[in-house]
Amino acid sequence: MEEVMACNIEQHKMHMCALKAENNEECIKSLSDKPTVECSNCGAKANSPDNVCAPQQLS
Protein backbone atom coordinates (compact mmCIF):
# COMPACT_ATOMS: atom_id res chain seq x y z
CA MET A 1 0.00 0.00 0.00
CA GLU A 2 1.32 3.44 -0.95
CA GLU A 3 1.72 6.03 1.82
CA VAL A 4 0.05 9.37 1.15
CA MET A 5 2.01 12.41 2.30
CA ALA A 6 0.33 15.57 3.54
CA CYS A 7 3.25 17.72 2.37
CA ASN A 8 4.28 19.14 -0.98
CA ILE A 9 7.48 18.25 -2.81
CA GLU A 10 9.18 21.62 -2.20
CA GLN A 11 8.83 21.29 1.57
CA HIS A 12 9.61 17.57 1.63
CA LYS A 13 13.34 17.96 0.94
CA MET A 14 13.79 19.36 4.48
CA HIS A 15 11.61 16.77 6.21
CA MET A 16 13.24 14.25 8.54
CA CYS A 17 12.42 11.26 6.33
CA ALA A 18 14.04 12.90 3.28
CA LEU A 19 17.10 13.95 5.30
CA LYS A 20 17.40 10.41 6.68
CA ALA A 21 17.21 8.96 3.16
CA GLU A 22 20.12 11.26 2.22
CA ASN A 23 22.08 10.23 5.37
CA ASN A 24 22.23 13.90 6.39
CA GLU A 25 22.92 13.18 10.08
CA GLU A 26 24.27 16.66 10.90
CA CYS A 27 21.12 18.38 9.66
CA ILE A 28 18.88 15.83 11.38
CA LYS A 29 20.64 16.45 14.71
CA SER A 30 20.27 20.22 14.47
CA LEU A 31 16.57 20.00 13.51
CA SER A 32 15.63 17.50 16.22
CA ASP A 33 17.69 18.42 19.30
CA LYS A 34 14.61 19.85 21.12
CA PRO A 35 11.65 18.06 19.52
CA THR A 36 8.12 19.45 19.84
CA VAL A 37 6.40 17.38 17.13
CA GLU A 38 6.34 13.83 15.80
CA CYS A 39 5.42 12.66 12.29
CA SER A 40 2.27 10.55 12.36
CA ASN A 41 3.51 8.74 9.21
CA CYS A 42 7.01 7.63 10.21
CA GLY A 43 7.42 8.63 13.88
CA ALA A 44 10.33 11.01 13.28
CA LYS A 45 10.64 13.75 15.88
CA ALA A 46 11.53 17.36 15.03
CA ASN A 47 11.81 20.78 16.62
CA SER A 48 9.38 22.29 14.11
CA PRO A 49 6.28 21.01 12.33
CA ASP A 50 7.92 22.30 9.14
CA ASN A 51 10.34 19.36 9.26
CA VAL A 52 7.90 16.43 9.20
CA CYS A 53 5.22 15.34 6.71
CA ALA A 54 2.33 14.91 9.14
CA PRO A 55 3.07 16.76 12.41
CA GLN A 56 1.51 15.87 15.76
CA GLN A 57 2.33 17.77 18.97
CA LEU A 58 4.35 15.76 21.47
CA SER A 59 2.65 15.51 24.84
pLDDT tens per residue across span 5-37: 567 777 888 999 999 999 999 999 999 999 999
Q: Is residue 51 part of a domain?
A: yes
Q: Is residue 49 part of a domain?
A: yes
At a CB cut-off of 8 Å and minimum separation 6, what does 4 contact? none
Domain with 27, as residue range(s), is: 9-57
Q: How many structural domains comprise the chain? A: 1
Residue 57 has pLDDT above 80, yes or no: yes
Higher per-residue pLDDT: 3 or 6 = 6
46 has which bridge partners?
Answer: 37
* Predicted pLDDT of residue 1: 44
38 has which bridge partners?
Answer: 45, 56
Q: Rounded to the nearest 5°, which phi and psi values hold at 14?
A: -110, 15
Residue 45 has pLDDT above 70, yes or no: yes
Distance CA 23, CA 55 (A): 21
56 has which bridge partners?
Answer: 38
Q: Is residue 35 part of a domain?
A: yes
* Predicted pLDDT of residue 4: 53
Q: Is residue 41 part of a domain?
A: yes
Q: Is residue 3 part of a domain?
A: no
Average pLDDT over residues 44-49: 97
